[in-house]
Structure 1
């Protein structure tokens, strides 16, 4: 468990908690540790190297062993990445030539000859029936022997690991940051919060826990140690029950409630009773999750506890035995009657709902007087709305300037995307502009003055992390909609998967699109060479894990967009495999090396979405000829089996177009609002840092910052979202 907790600190903060051990002469081992880290693109900060050098060799070796294991997993270097073609990207054959070679070899094999001849007579050949197709024909060690050494390059990635505080302090800080996050966490971060909450339930707590899913996990831990529960809605209790049953605290997926002990049942019923007793109107919240409350009632047996009658009312409403008119139904009735003023008056009592309904209200309003009333109400209640919602609505109206024939993309909490034409009537420009100005003013009011600001320019086009679910777990991953520079000459994608129980075939492909989003070409197992690039070969099963690669020379491409995708041809979904992840590497043209070289990895993200086609990101060539990545984190439904780039190019093109042309609010936008007349802003040159405290905002923490500086990097971007 201690190693797991230490790994949480490294993964989330890129810090090593202050190494412990007896004093000694550990300098030599510390330098060896630093050299081993360099081979995977990491290094020790000067402060951390000095700290380790003063410890015993055994203490340094202990820290090194644990840290190297963690950073290898962060990059995807903890598994063996073999390739079907042994010397990829060299000597990749023509696709049809390769298939004929497999047929010839099968005909020379007595065990397979008759079956292949029968198929050929019928004019249809199943490639999977050929003994040499889709299965590695060499060992991992043989593949390594066939590859050249990686030539070091100034462009290779270097990620610094910094010295942290004592492990207990680091874990407390991490717990407070995750539990008190102003934006929803992704699934992996929720699991980490659950782990931390079990160790920190009786320690320091955040001032507020605004995200309900986070509150459910904290309540689960508090219930386990007899601490008071944090409840103010009946849905809080439902989420807690889901957590106790190992279910989905986001309430997107149904939970099979477990049998609960009598003390736990009493705790949940007492919590429900207290919430409803304090505000009977909260009973209306039951309607949103009626079926879940019915099933929970079967486990809690409220009739056995007459001392909590308000809790029994919750389940009576769920069964339809007691009326509790929902807030949404009252609003809907007013809008059905075209009573916009009445709806606005009612919605002012629920500021968050008012904000989420602004577009509908402005489109429904009959005249300017009603639209003025909508805008005035929004301005009045804005201080009561969460910063995340204010910014989400601001981004929404930022995109309502587009023409009505544009595509509209929807993405659910698990990354599943679908695209439809935008058929909404426009919002009048004057009303939209007034609302945007008011939202900007409200956001500016909440942002703290940064003092002296040190800014990494690469962070300006990073999209605001309004939800952790818009960012996949992994290394070097940016929120959906972010744009980042691509500074290498060779672009190489990789996918790795390991099946859990059944044969699973994932296919890495790349769709190349023209500037109008029409298809230029593609690379896949059916097109091994195209556009100057190469595919590493089709692997069709992964009982011990499998990898596929695509290599592309960026300067040879005539296409405008490169869209890597992972298609599930057959077998387990992304959430069913033992492990599955995607990433990309960047290299200079003269660099050789193995197909997978960890220090060239720029991004590695887990594949854990719902759908049969994964779209992690898209690469776009700008008018200046430079390539940039825009982060998608999308999953398309696809079909049950045999998903192929040839068949999904239209749906992929639509999804890419919809998100590429959508304008996200970025950190640059927030930094502009944050800067005051008294703010001194310096652009970080990658070398020198000021000797005084600063607010630093960048992709990674530089060395040498003043200890009193406030540091915002990829690991804690959500700290910039005002409460």
Structure 2
């Protein structure tokens, strides 16, 4: 790898693992490394980070110049992680003080326009565009002037402090991250897939087991380039690989324009297809057009030694027929032959378990269906077992808001739940089977320690909707919100077109009704305040909303980012959302990195982002529940007033859903440790928490927020 790749990789390890890659020390070094390490620790505190004792000791043994170079890179990485790499100006210089009333503000702008002869010529009835008034939507002061208007931040003990630990060499840290992502039992976010691709090209060791097919396609790209055998067990694995090699979508959600393949690559792809039995060809019709286009690039008839590969493309062109499993199952169910459908599904354990609810409602023998499901449980993936477990516990206590559906892009919609209930003993029997099988697959934890703060974190059964960032948790997770002042923010910078994002908040009562809002059309109420509307972000723009939690008259607060005009989230040069918490008397700039609790990029095809919801419980404490949702919205002019019904329904569906949490697996691990007699005397230890403490025994298995996917059993 060249120097630039090394720098990018080092930043990746720091931000994803909170570890600083360090080469093994060559011995004691005379110099000022200890002084430089202390200076770095002080600088890190200003952005809410600090060095662990072990990291300080490692840095102290290095030359001072080396520590300074490392410190510059570490600071740059963590500042970007918190969003402190940009200047966060506010429209009103004194925000949150001296923000005018909404009507007063508009009247003032109109008065200024009428007093200006040039501007007054543009202000003519009968139509008056308030957004075009001079001075609206653009900063009227510099960032330096904003800093001068605000006092220094008063540090409080409750401010966030994230500890950085020492790591191994950059090569070993990269390999560990690669193995973790490649071996993930859950689909990865698009950002993680990109990381996996960059690591696969530089890590010499290639894993032999990659359970998620999209991850497998990325790993296969590296294996194909290195001339290694491909990891394929379905024809679709080969199609995904061809898409990835062409710079396309390995999820197959969008069509790919295939490149020309070298003869050696064509031989390898066709050999992989030829090694699969014809029974696998039933998957071809699902992506028929993509297979036709791929056949035009691979020229399978030039390789007569691969006759079964030729058959794949004959199926795609309709010359040869091949019925897939789904079509055969649907035909059996349509004819009322449920027993035949169950027999077919037993060849694919995951498919059988995903259909168990439907099969139990077909009126067939529940006992026969459950017997088949019990046999399939031992052969299905751990993720399927956990997903079914979550599904069944929600079927026993359905949410009043109905069902919610979320696709791979985070786009969501809700619908009434009109399914017949699952009666009898079937749900209880199935839950017992799942609990037993999941517990069997969990490793013996030895001495188990679980941080109480992680118990209400949802298990990451899919990572697709979660963009990596600071403090990010899976959809459905609950986390406490400490502090008297909640401030959330959005920052964006346009690429080419004028882009206007609007930060807003929908406030609801306990029954998800009586809506109120804060936005550019309503600057304030009794407990919330808006920082002002910015309509152009050529140099970057930031908007804030303050919520005084102790004064809030509504227990549900839903932040949202609306695209009013301009570039979508994934086309803007930069777009991210986050929130901070502060004490009531804690002064400082509108944006203070050490108070940031969460920050993540915005992306997705929707025009309205719903990152999370803040809820006040019966005990009066506030908590955040993570949504990671996007609404389709309108092509332009989206406002909080226009989506409040849809937003309320979706938020209620997520809040009332009983997500499977870390608590569930922790209980199974405790039971397993007790039943097998695994104690501290075995010398093994397992820790599960949001962050790893410094006093863990050597060799401990550690699961933190960034590696919770490793908890999902195979």
TM-score interval w.r.t. the shorter chain? over 0.9
Question: Which piece of structure 1 moves more, 214-223 or 224-233?
Answer: 224-233
Q: What are the equivalent positions in structure 2 for 1:644-663 lying under 5 Å apart?
A: 644-663=639-658
Whether contact under 8 Å (2:154, 2:588) holds in the other structure is yes
Cα distance change of structure 1 residues 690 and 15 upon mapping to structure 2, 3 Å threshold: farther
The reply to whether residue 227 of structure 1 matches residue 228 of structure 2 is yes
Aligned to 2:368: 373
Q: Distance in 2 between matches of 1:136 and 1:404?
A: 45
1:51-62 to 2 correspondences below 5 Å: 51-62=58-69
> Quick check: 1:17 aligned with 2:21?
yes
1:596-624 alpha-carbon deviations (Å, 9 max, x no partner): 11000000011112211100000110001
Alignment of 1:124-139 (within 5 A): 124-139=127-142
Match of 1:5 in 2: 9
Which of 329, 332, 355 in structure 1 is aligned with 2:330?
Answer: 332
Report 1:413-424 matches (<5 A): 413-424=408-419
Q: Find the counterpart in structure 2 of residue 296 from structure 1.
A: 294
Counterpart of 1:41 in structure 2 is 48
Q: What is the aligned partner in structure 1 of residue 422 from structure 2?
A: 427
* More deviation, 489-498/104-113: 104-113
* Distance in 2 between residues matched to 1:83 and 1:65, nearest whole Å: 28
Distance 1:266 1:592 in 2: 66
| Residue of structure 1 in register with 2:269 after alignment | 268
Q: CA RMSD in A?
A: 1.8
Aligned match of 1:342: 340
Contact 1:20 1:59 in 2 (8 A): no
Does 2:545 match 1:550? yes
Pair 1:170-2:151 in alignment: no
How far, CA to CA, are the matches of 2:352 and 2:340 in structure 1?
Answer: 12
- Once residues 690 and 662 of structure 1 are traced to their aligned partners in structure 2, the CA distance between those partners, rounded to angstroms, is 40
Q: Deviations over 1:549-608 (max 9, x none)?
A: 001110000101000000011111111111111000010101011111100000001111
* Structure 1 segment 471-486 matched on structure 2, within 5 A: 471-486=466-481
* Contact residue 453 and residue 679 of structure 1 kept, 8 A: no
Alignment of 1:538-687 (within 5 A): 538-676=533-671, 678-679=673-674
Corresponding position of 1:309? 307
Cα distance in structure 2, aligned partners of 1:24 and 1:694 = 38
Shift of residue 97, structure 1, vs aligned partner = 0.8
* Counterpart Cα distance in 1 of 2:424 and 2:636: 46
Deviation at 1:212, TM superposition (A): 0.6
Secondary structure, aligned partner of 1:324: coil
Alignment match, 1:448 = 443
Unmatched 5+ stretches in structure 2: none
Q: Which residue of 2 aligns with 1:85?
A: 92
CA deviation digits over 1:154-210, x for unaligned, max 9?
Answer: 10001000011111111111111111111111111111100100011x32x334110
Counterparts of 1:476 and 1:451, CA distance in 2: 28
After the TM superposition, which of the residue ranges 611-620 and 304-313 deviates more from structure 2?
Answer: 304-313
Tell me, in whole angstroms, the C-alpha distance in 1 between the residues paired with 2:132 and 2:16. 45
Mapped to 2, the partners of 1:514 and 1:251 lie a distance apart of 42
How many residue pairs are counted as aligned between the two chains? 704
- Partner SS state of residue 173, structure 1: helix
SS of 1:548's partner is strand
Unaligned 5+ segments in structure 1 are 682-688
On the 8 A contact 1:519/1:649 being kept in 2, the answer is no
Q: Distance in 2 between matches of 1:671 and 1:207?
A: 29
Task: Measure how far apart 1:690 and its partner are.
Answer: 12
3-state SS, counterpart of residue 494 of structure 1? strand
Q: Is the contact made by 2:495 and 2:538 (CA closer than 8 Å) also made in structure 1? A: yes
Residues 678/390 of structure 1: CA separation in 2 closer, same or farther (3 Å cut): closer
- Are the aligned partners of 1:135 and 1:539 in contact in 2 as well (CA < 8 Å)? yes
Which of 32, 35, 39 aligns to 1:28? It is 35
1:195 paired to 2:198 = yes
Flag the 1:677–1:388 CA change in 2: closer, same or farther, 3 A: closer
**Gap change, CA 1:209 and 1:30, over 3 Å in 2:** same
| CA distance in 2 between partners of 1:167 and 1:514 (Å) | 51
1:703 aligns with 2:694: yes
Q: Following the alignment from structure 2 to structure 1, what is the Cα–Cα distance between the partners of residues 207 and 306?
A: 30
Q: Report the Cα offset of residue 429 of structure 1.
A: 4.5
Give the TM-score of the pair, scaled to structure 1: 0.95
- Which residue number corresponds to residue 409 of structure 1? 404
Following superposition of structure 1 onto structure 2, how do residues 469-508 of structure 1 map, counting pairs within 5 Å? 469-508=464-503
SS at match of 1:210: coil
Q: Is the 8 A contact 1:405 1:423 kept in 2?
A: no
SS in 1 for 2:575: strand
- CA displacement at 1:260 relative to structure 2: 2.8
How many Å apart are 1:21 and its aligned residue? 7.5
- Judge which range, 141-150 or 400-409, deviates more: 400-409
Task: Measure, in 2, the Cα distance between the counterparts of 1:317 and 1:166.
Answer: 50
Q: Distance in 2 between matches of 1:693 and 1:592?
A: 46
